[in-house]
Each structure stands twice: as structure tokens, then as C-alpha cells.
């Protein structure tokens, strides 16, 4: 069948079925050709300038079409979109040259606080104008088709004046932009808000769909969460086929972001969707789904055992958008469940509708718990050594304390744990002043005295922050060993060696690097006895991260370079530092510089 007529500026090529670009698949993707239509990259993962993600993005872009999909634009926030965010997004768009760019109908930040979630919007005329105006500007600014995605949601506002699909249509037409249509989100929200998924699918403007998302979800009985886990369930596949029958051939993406399997399994799911797509397009007598077979009707029979409460009467709580969003943000950031606070319950009842299965407070609690899980998982990934020292439950308590005083302030999770070492140091100092034990029980550190345990934890935190710095550092042009061979003696004396941005030089009293390595490999820990260590943490030319123990003279020489000293004065200072230092320096310079340039420790002159 022919698809509806598209606006001219939204005419895009059908790329077939694609998959999400995920770091664990980088090497597999580049190792051989794959039968996939395109890859979708999460914009924020590549906007920081970190070298490794950008390298792989460029490599994939040379082999396959790549589209960009954002999660932190926060287009529905009370505040205007962040200018620096838009600048970085534009730089990435110019680099990748995607056929279209997308984000979400949502807000994800309030002021400087970023919740890293796709929070729903009230469906009002005012919000239509707000989102449409911003979306039109962004489309013009990026210079290519721009689309917004319908989100899954777990609460609805008493302020809303229209259905979600009416809101979407109004924004798309007023802003003259495209739609990223997430079929799984339709299924999820139809259950959570008791509407017809089929009506949603039939009422959105099909001629504006740029791309389709398909994914799995997790059913919790009273609600469904869009977890992007596992293959697409059959009811979602049936809704997808209905969408294709109505809209025609649309580029479709498999989202699989939880318990991510090997690439081959994700590609098998893409192949399955491709067959569903072909079936919908080729069957001239393809029958639309009847309402009796909709997800809504099957849900009602499967949830009959769930206790329900009467739906509240329609009501409107007139509250400024900034206050409404700040209130929801504060509720999500709470360390304790909202049900314990009577004032929170009263405000929630005024702001949100609830449904027959969940009160407004219970719906907000879904977002609050998701916030905790998302940020705990992020810091577990960034601080695996601390996680091994603390254990899962104590580490989660530590993260909650940290987030209470350091709410996320950047659009990317990459910077979330940057202040964690300082936070730990302040915590230990305060507990010492109060006479409290600084740490929970850590069986693995039992050989150490309490003050030694605290020192061990702080050193582990500093080491892991150095790893974060190495990963996030921008790419540099490396100094080559051959560049050194042509230097005259005079040039050597005055030469300034600049350490690459990824390099950190740290001293430790404990074997924290060895413990971190053993924990990640699930091996026994080495002896914990104190012994001074001088480490360099760096990103190799191959873009992987390493730490390396250095001799006293090698460490001090690099430290002098990092302080801006020239080669001659740095060598003189190191040579006079200890007995035998001059001899060790003289014999080590040649091998050191050959190794250091091979590792990529210096930026080019």
C-alpha cells in the first residue's frame, strides 16, 4: 500500500530494520559485515568528546547509516533548552550527518538538576505551543528532519485537556516536525492509563512518522515498565503490523538495553521484525486488529485478581508549570518513600489522576525507584572497586546519601560520580568528629585497622575517578618516538613534554589497583599490607584504559613534566633527589621515552 503523503521536508529514506549502537557490541559490529539496515546512536553518549565512543561511532558511520536519538533535550521543561547542550548536539550532528535526529515528548531536568528520565508532560494547549515552538527552532537549527518520540508513562496530570495522541498531532502539525513512533510505549501506556492502543495507533499522523521503535517490557501486574529487555512480545508485534499497514514502510529499530545479549541475538530479533514488516506490507487483505484483540482487553482479563479503588472524579489543580515540575522532581529525589509523608500524598492527589490500580503516590514511587536504580547502576559501573569493598546494599545506601547532597547536574551520567571521592572524605571526617565508625562492616578489609580501612576506601575512590578522567578525556595527536630522534641536544634541554589529557599520576599506600583488578575478574584479593606505589593511569593508543606502576625516578620525571618543567630542569631536579637517582635516570631515559611514546602518554609538540 502507499503511505500517506509526507510534508516535503520530512521525506526520508526507508532504512529497513536497524538496531541500537551499544558499546558492548562495538568490536562485533566492526569485525564483519552484518545484515542490518542502520544503527541508532544515543546522542548524549557521544557529545562529551570522549575519544573511544567517538572513534567507534566514526567507524560504524563509515560502514552503515547512523541516526541520532537523544534522551536529555528536555523539550517540555519550564526552562528553555540548554544552549550548551544544543551547541554540542549540533557539533555531533555535523560530524555524523544523520538523515534525521530525534528526542522525546518529555521533560528530564528542572533547573540544574537532571533526572535522566523521560518524565511525562501535561497535555494542554499551552504545552502544545511550548513544545511546537521549540521543536521547530531545533529542526531549523540542526538543518535536517527532527522528530519527537511518544514516551511510556506511569502517571497522568489532572491538568491535561486532551488525549496523548491529540497532543502529539497538535505539536507535530504546529511545529511541522516528525514523529518517532514507539509502538511498545503505546502498549505500555495503554495498560498504565486504560486507553485503547489501537485508537492511539490509528489517530497519530502517519505521514509524519520518521522512524519506529520496538522493544520489550516488564509487567508488574499493576503497571508495565518500558525496560527494553528481551524480544518484542507478540501483542506489540501485532500492533507494529497494524502501524505498518497504516503508515507504509518505515525505518524500524530494535531497542534492547537491559540484559543485552550478543549482537547475533539482537540481529535475529531485527530479522524477526523484518518478516513482520514484510507480512504487513505484502498482505493486501491484511485485516486490522479488532478491539476485542487489543492489549487493553487482554489486560483486563489478566488483571482481574488485582484489587482496585474507585477512579477519582475529574479535577484540575491550577499550578504553574515550573512549580508542578519542581514538585515532581523533589518527590523523585526523596530518599524515603513518599507514602510516609501526608503532605506529599495530598499534593500528589491534586496533581495526578491515579488509576484503578495505583494511587498517584504509588505512581510517583515508580519514578522514584527507577531514579535510584538508574543512578546506582551507573555508579556501580564507574566505581566497581568501591562496590566490591562495600557490597551491594551498603553501596546503594552510600549512593543515596551522595545523591541527596549531589543531585545530578549534567545531561550525561558520565559526570555523576565525579565528586564521590570528595564526598567520602567529608563523610569520614564528619563521622570521626561525631565518634561514629566511618564504614559499614567490610569483611574483605578485616586485616586493616579502622583508620586504614577508611584510607583504603579513599584511595580506591581516587583511582577510579582517574579511570573516569582517562575515559572521558578528548582525543589528542600523539608524540612519536621518531619525533625525538631529530632533536638536537639544545632542543632536548628546552623541550616541553605535555602529558596526554587522559594521564593521571597518583601515589597510593595500598594495593587498590590490584584489588580492583581482582574484583573485576572475580579473583582472590592480593595481600592488603601497606606498601607505597606510584601509578600512572592512562588511555592507551588502542583506547583501552590501563594503570602502570612506575619507578621513583620515572614517576617524578613525569610529574615534573605535568608541572610544566622543561626536560633539562626536570632531569636536574630528579637526578638530585636521592642517592643513585642520577644513574637510574641516565640508564632509564631511553627505554622510558620509547615506552611512553608507544603507550601514547605525550601529546604532540
Q: What is the pLDDT of residue 291?
A: 35
Average pLDDT over residues 406-432: 94
Which of residues 285 and 374 earns the better pLDDT score?
374
Q: What is the pLDDT of residue 4?
A: 55
Tens digits of residue pLDDT in 19-34? 999 999 999 999 989 9
Q: How confident is the model at residue 297 (pLDDT cuts 50, 70, 90)?
A: very low
Identical fold between 13-302 and 472-599: no
CA distance 2 to 204: 17
- pLDDT class for 240, splitting at 50, 70, 90? very high
Fold of 13-302: TIM Barrel (3.20.20)
Q: 244 or 577: whose pLDDT is higher?
A: 244
Task: Look at strands 146-149 and 17-20 and give their pairing.
Answer: unpaired
pLDDT band, very low/low/confident/very high, at 179 (cuts 50, 70, 90)? very high
Q: What residue ranges do the domains of the chain occupy?
A: 13-302, 472-599
3-class SS letters over 206-269:
HHHEEEEEEECCEECCCCEECCCECCCCHHHHHHHHHHHHHHCCCCEEEECCECCCCHHHHHHH
pLDDT at 2 over 60: no
pLDDT at 309 over 90: no
Q: How confident is the model at residue 442 (pLDDT cuts 50, 70, 90)?
A: confident
Average pLDDT of the residues in 262-286:
88
Q: Which of 29-33, 111-115, 243-247, 316-320 has the lowest mean pLDDT?
A: 316-320
pLDDT number for residue 289: 41
The answer to whether 243 touches 183, Cβ cutoff 8 Å, is yes
* pLDDT tens sequence across 66-109: 999 999 999 999 999 999 999 999 999 999 999 999 999 999 99
Grouping H, G, I as helix, E, B as strand and the rest as coil, residue 578 is coil
For residue 541, give the C-alpha cell. Answer: 593508543
Rounded mean pLDDT, 326-338: 92
Question: What's the rounded Cα separation, in Å, for the pair 416 and 396?
Answer: 14
- Quick: pLDDT tens for 393-416: 999 999 999 999 999 999 999 999
Task: Tell me the mean pLDDT in the region 308-326.
Answer: 69
pLDDT at 310: 42
Per-residue confidence (pLDDT) for residue 345, from 0 to 100:
87
pLDDT of residue 317: 66
Burial 137-162 (b: 16+ CB within 10 A, else e): ebbeebebbbbbbbbbbbbbbbbbeb
The C-alpha cell at 554 is: 620515572
Q: What kind of fold does domain 472-599 have according to CATH?
A: Outer Surface Protein A; domain 3 (3.90.930)
Q: What is the pLDDT of residues 212-228, one digit of tens each?
A: 999 999 999 999 999 99
Return d(Cα 555, Cα 537) in angstroms, integer.
12
Q: Work out the angle at residue 183's Cα, subtended by the Cα atoms of residues 178 and 184, and round it to the nearest 5 degrees.
A: 135
H-state helical runs in 143-182: 164-175
Q: Could you give the C-alpha distances from 338 to 100, 360, 401, 427, in angstroms and in order?
A: 40, 10, 17, 26
How far apart (Å, rounded) are the C-alpha atoms in residues 145 and 250?
A: 15
Q: Output 431 or 246, whichever has higher pLDDT.
A: 246
Backbone angles phi, psi at 18, to 5 degrees: -125, 180
- What's the maximum distance between 2 C-alpha atoms anywhere in the chain? 90
Residue (of 401, 367, 395, 368) closest to 379 by Cα position = 395
Segment 285-307 mean pLDDT: 37
Model confidence at 311: pLDDT above 90? no
Is pLDDT of 296 > 80? no
Q: Kindly tell me if the per-residue pLDDT of 447 is higher than 80.
A: yes
Nearest in space to 248 (alpha carbons), one of 181, 329, 305: 181
pLDDT of residue 318: 76
| Whole-angstrom Cα Rg for the chain | 28
Residue 286 has pLDDT above 50, yes or no: no
pLDDT of residue 492: 96
pLDDT of residue 3: 47
Q: Output the average pLDDT for the chain.
A: 92
Q: What is the mean pLDDT of residues 367-377?
A: 96
Q: Is the pLDDT assigned to residue 602 strictly greater than 80? A: yes
- The answer for residues whose C-beta is within 8 angstroms of residue 586's C-beta and 6 or more apart is none
Q: What is the DSSP track for 52-65?
A: HHHHHHHHHHHHS-
Per-residue model confidence as pLDDT tens digits over 96-149: 999 999 999 999 999 999 999 999 999 999 999 999 999 999 999 999 999 999
DSSP letter for each residue of 395-432 = HHHHHHHHHHHS---SSSGGGTTTTHHHHHHHHHHHHH
C-alpha cell at 345: 500524598
**Residues 584-601 pLDDT 10s:** 999 999 999 999 999 999
Q: What is the pLDDT of residues 339-350, one digit of tens each?
A: 778 888 899 999
pLDDT over 80 (residue 272):
yes
E strand spans, 437-574: 504-508, 533-539, 545-549
Give the pLDDT band of residue 302 (cuts 50, 70, 90).
very low
Cell of 299: 489486560
Amino acid at each position: 500500500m502507499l503511505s500517506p503523503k509526507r510534508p516535503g521536508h520530512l521525506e526520508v529514506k526507508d532504512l529497513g530494520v536497524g538496531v541500537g549502537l551499544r558499546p558492548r557490541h562495538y568490536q562485533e559490529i566492526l569485525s564483519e559485515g552484518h545484515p542490518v539496515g542502520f544503527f541508532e546512536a544515543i546522542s548524549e553518549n557521544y557529545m562529551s568528546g570522549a575519544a573511544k565512543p567517538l572513534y567507534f561511532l566514526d567507524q560504524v558511520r563509515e560502514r552503515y547509516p547512523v541516526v541520532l536519538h537523544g534522551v536529555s533535550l528536555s523539550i517540555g521543561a519550564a526552562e528553555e533548552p540548554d544552549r550548551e547542550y544544543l551547541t554540542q548536539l549540533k557539533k555531533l550532528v555535523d560530524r555524523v550527518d544523520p538523515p534525521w535526529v530525534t528526542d522525546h515528548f518529555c521533560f528530564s531536568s528542572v533547573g540544574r538538576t537532571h533526572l535522566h528520565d523521560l518524565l511525562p508532560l501535561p497535555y494542554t494547549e499551552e504545552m502544545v505551543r511550548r513544545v511546537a515552538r521549540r521543536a521547530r527552532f531545533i529542526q531549523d537549527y540542526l538543518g535536517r528532519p527532527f522528530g519527537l518520540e511518544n514516551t511510556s508513562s506511569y502517571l497522568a496530570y489532572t491538568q491535561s485537556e486532551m488525549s496523548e495522541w491529540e497532543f502529539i498531532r497538535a505539536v507535530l502539525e504546529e511545529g511541522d516536525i516528525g514523529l518517532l513512533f514507539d509502538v511498545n510505549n503505546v502498549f505500555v501506556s495503554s495498560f498504565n492509563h486504560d486507553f485503547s492502543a489501537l485508537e492511539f495507533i490509528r489517530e497519530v499522523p502517519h505521514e509524519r512518522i520518521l522512524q519506529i521503535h520496538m522493544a520489550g517490557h516488564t509487567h508488574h501486574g499493576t503497571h508495565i515498565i518500558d525496560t527494553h529487555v528481551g524480544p518484542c512480545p507478540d501483542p506489540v508485534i501485532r500492533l507494529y503490523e497494524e502501524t505498518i499497514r497504516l503508515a507504509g514502510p518505515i525505518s524500524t529499530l530494535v531497542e534492547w538495553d537491559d540484559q543485552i545479549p550478543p549482537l547475533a541475538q539482537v540481529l535475529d530479533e531485527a530479522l524477526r521484525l523484518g518478516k513482520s514488516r514484510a507480512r504487513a506490507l505484502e498482505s493486501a487483505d491484511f485485516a486490522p486488529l479488532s478491539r476485542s484483540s487489543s492489549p487493553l482487553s487482554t489486560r483486563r482479563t489478566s488483571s482481574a485478581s488485582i484489587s482496585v479503588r474507585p477512579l477519582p472524579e475529574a479535577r484540575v489543580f491550577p499550578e504553574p508549570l515550573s512549580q508542578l515540575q519542581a514538585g515532581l522532581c523533589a518527590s523523585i529525589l526523596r530518599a524515603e518513600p513518599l507514602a510516609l509523608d501526608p503532605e506529599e500524598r495530598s499534593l500528589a492527589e491534586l496533581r495526578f489522576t491515579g488509576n484503578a490500580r495505583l494511587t498517584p503516590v504509588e505512581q510517583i514511587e515508580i519514578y522514584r525507584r527507577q531514579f535510584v536504580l538508574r543512578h546506582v547502576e551507573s555508579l556501580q559501573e564507574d566505581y566497581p572497586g568501591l562496590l566490591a569493598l562495600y557490597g551491594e546494599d551498603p553501596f546503594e545506601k552510600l549512593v543515596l546519601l551522595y545523591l541527596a547532597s549531589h543531585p545530578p547536574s549534567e545531561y550525561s551520567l558520565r559526570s555523576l560520580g565525579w565528586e564521590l571521592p570528595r564526598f567520602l572524605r567529608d563523610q569520614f571526617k564528619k563521622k570521626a568528629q561525631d565518634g561514629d565508625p566511618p564504614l559499614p562492616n567490610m569483611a574483605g578489609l578485616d586485616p586493616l585497622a579502622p583508620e586504614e580501612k577508611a584510607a583504603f576506601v579513599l584511595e580506591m575512590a581516587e583511582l577510579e575517578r582517574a579511570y573516569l578522567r582517562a575515559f572521558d578525556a578528548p582525543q589528542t595527536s600523539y608524540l612519536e618516538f621518531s619525533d625525538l630522534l631529530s632533536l638536537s641536544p639544545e632542543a632536548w634541554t628546552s623541550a616541553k613534554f605535555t602529558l596526554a589529557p587522559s594521564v593521571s599520576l597518583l601515589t597510593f599506600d595500598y594495593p587498590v589497583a590490584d584489588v580492583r583488578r581482582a574484583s573485576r575478574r572475580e579473583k582472590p584479593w592480593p595481600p592488603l599490607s601497606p606498601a607505597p606505589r606510584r601509578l600512572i593511569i592512562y588511555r592507551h593508543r588502542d583506547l583501552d584504559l590501563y594503570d602502570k606502576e612506575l619507578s621513583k625516578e620515572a614517576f617524578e620525571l613525569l610529574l615534573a613534566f605535568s608541572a610544566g618543567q622543561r626536560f633539562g630542569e626536570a632531569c636536574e631536579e630528579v637526578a638530585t633527589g636521592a642517592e643513585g637517582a642520577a644513574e637510574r635516570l641516565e640508564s632509564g631515559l631511553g627505554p622510558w621515552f620509547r615506552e611512553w611514546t608507544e603507550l601514547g602518554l605525550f601529546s604532540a609538540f
